[in-house]
Each structure stands twice: as structure tokens, then as C-alpha cells.
Amino acid sequence: YHCPMPKIFYVQLTVGNNEFFGEGKTRQAARHNAAMKALQALQNEPIPEKSHQNGESGKEMDDDKDANKSEISLVFEIALKRNMPVSFEVIKESGPPHMKSFVTRVSVGEFSAEGEGNSKKLSKKRAATTVLQELKKLPPLPVVEKPKLFFKKRPKTIVKAGPEYGQGMNPISRLAQIQQAKKEKEPDYVLLSERGMPRRREFVMQVKVGNEVATGTGPNKKIAKKNAAEAMLLQLGYKASTSLQDQLEKTGENKGWSGPKAGFPEPPNNTPKGILHLSPDVYQEMEASRHKVISGTTLGYLSPKDMNQPSSSFFSISPTSNSSATIARELLMNGTSPTAEAIGLKGSSPTPPCSPVQPSKQLEYLARIQGFQ
């Protein structure tokens, strides 16, 4: 019988400048044998200094980066670092149209080189490659450490949430800022209810801060929220956001005419709704214009004392007034006209006695009387 000889595998292992040979019955065993020999030999060798190793690795990394870049890009980069001007120029074109040859010259500061190729791009690349070899011979630039940017930490703005803090501010913003200063949860607003007629709605808003609860009402959600915040501030022991005098001034400003400032005085609270009180100047102008249109009708301006008394009609009508004007005023103020009814009973009324007047007609009449459009 022929006895086959077992195969032996040989492996060569290179570590740095050292070579090690390993053998084994399998390829894996041979590799292990070579590795064991390398470990035994290298264990006793001193570890090289890190700075040298880092420098080498840094150079290798730079070489790897440069390998991915084109020669033209590298020329521009080096020139930029050394503040050197770069210029590429095609100095020669030769050959027939289908086989042209181009010669490109590159100048980088003091250095210049030429490259030839069958296209402008190729000749430019070859010129850059030639000049790059010369540029790499230059001594390396000194490394300048960049100063570390120091960012000054801004001090946190501490809001002193005293009882007088934020007077004159919007109560909603003021309450939110106070809660932030206290590092507590922001106020929580909830709409509780809506009530009233469609054109005269009233909204009730509730605000919750911790365990404290306060409510506020208003003709819209915004004002209701504002009033709720104001109530909560007073409940927490803070002073009112706006003084009483400022509030009165504001209401006076808001109720004034937004166009030419005629200076309407604020109507007293106890007078019926829908009555405008006119200043003496405006009244006199109105009276003069009305005398041109309507003859025989006289109006008496009410004194402030008369204004304060709740009265069904604003204008005091003289006995010599026109009956139609009287009927219109009564309908405007009350919706019904006793004068019209009285005339109707006599049978001399040109209009139906108890016909209700439309609001649009009332508004037209009121605008015409006061000289508005």
C-alpha cells in the first residue's frame, strides 16, 4: 500500500521590518504558528514614542486625503496656504482639428511648469502634476495653534417677582413671567362658559396657578382671559397691573370717536344704552346744519345735570317742534311713539300708528341728525 504523505502549510508573516515563518498541517495552524513566533519576538521590544507615531499617522492621513483630490485642487490649496498667486494659461495649440495638441503653462508664485496633452483638461492636469512635485519640496509651514474661543456665559436674568413687579404690563404676560421667575408651572386657562345673546356674548375664563383658582369675564375670550389673569394677580398679593386713573383714561380714549376727534364726553352709566351725548361745539354745528334742512324744529342741549337723570329721550323738544320729528325721536328711543298713536286716533296720521321701526332706519336717522355717513 502507498502511504500518502501529510501536507504541510508554510506561512510568511511580516510585522514592520521583521519577518516570521510558520508551519502547520492546515493553513490556519500555520498562521497561528507564525503569530506565536512574532509575539514571542516582539514582546521584549520597547514601545516607540507616541509623538513620533502620531506625526507619522498624521502624514499618512494627509497623504490619504491628498490621494482623493485632483492635482489641480492640491496646487490651489498649497498656493492658498502660502499666499501664492496661481495662473493656468494655454500657450500652444498644434495639430489637425481631429488630433489637436495643447500645451498649458501653470505659474505658482516663483514656480512654473508646462504640461502637454490632446485636450486642455489633460494638459492642465499634467502641468499641475509637474509643479506639485516642486511645491512638495518646500519646507513645511510652522504650525500655529488656534486660540481657543472663549464664550462668556450669560448670567441668568433673575426676575424679582415683588408685589410691584410688572405694573403697566399685560396681566397675562405679567403672570406668566412671575411664574417663570418662581420656577413654577405656567398658568392654565380654561373657558368655563359662554352666555348671553349672539351679539352680546359674555365669556367666563378660569385660570389655575398651583392650588389657586380665579375667574374673569368679558365680551370676548381675550378680555375674559386678561381679567382672569388680573384677578389671579390680586389674589396672589400683587398690585393691580394698571392704576385706576389709567383705566379711566383708557376707557375715555376707547370710547372717543376714532376719526376726527370731536371729543365726545363719556356717557354716564345710568343713562339708557344707545344714546350719544354731544359736546357743545359739535351740537352747535349740528344745530346750524339742521336749521338749514328742517325749519321750525328746535333742540335744547341737555346740561350735565339733566344727563345724569335717567330719561327716555335725550333731546328736549320744544312745544313748537314738528310732529314728524317728534314721532321719529320717540320711535328711535323707545320703539313706540305715543304722539303717533295720539295722532292716529284723531285720524290725521300719514303713517300706520304702531308700526315698529327697523334698526337700520333708526341708525340712518341718527347718522343724518349727527352729520355722519
pLDDT at 176 over 60: yes
At 352-361, the pLDDT tens digits run 445 578 999 9
Residue 205 pairs with which residues in a beta bridge? 191, 216
Does residue 54 or residue 127 have the better pLDDT? 127
Q: What is the pLDDT of residue 217?
A: 92
pLDDT tens track for 6-15: 788 999 999 8
71-137 is classed CATH 3.30.160.20? yes
Burial letters 309-345, b for 16+ CB under 10 A, else e? eeeeebbebeeebeeebbbbbbbbbeeebebbeebbe
pLDDT top residue among 22 and 140: 22
User: pLDDT tens for residues 67-78?
Assistant: 778 888 989 988
Is-same-fold flag (71-137; 171-236)?
Answer: yes
Indicate the CATH number for domain 171-236.
3.30.160.20
Cα separation, 62 vs 59, in Å, equals 5
pLDDT at 126: 92
Q: Cβ distance 286 to 369 under 8 Å?
A: yes
Q: Is the pLDDT of residue 300 over 90?
A: no
- pLDDT at residue 238 tops 70: yes
Predicted structure pTM score? 0.29
Tens digit of each residue's pLDDT (9 = 90 or more) over 131-169: 988 888 888 877 777 777 767 766 665 555 667 777 778
**What pLDDT is stored for residue 129 in this prediction?**
92
CA dihedral sign of residues 172, 175, 179, 180: positive
CA distance 165 to 177: 10
Least confident of 303-317, 323-337, 345-359: 303-317
Cβ count within 10 A of residue 71:
20
Extents of the domains making up the chain:
9-44, 71-137, 171-236
- As a whole number, mean pLDDT of residues 86-90 equals 91
Looking up cell 364726553, which residue turns up? 265
Q: How many residues does the chain have?
A: 373
Give the mean model confidence (pLDDT) for residues 50-66: 57
d(CA 227, CA 204): 10
Q: Which three cell numbers stand for residue 244?
A: 385706576
Mean of the pLDDT values across residues 29-55?
A: 79
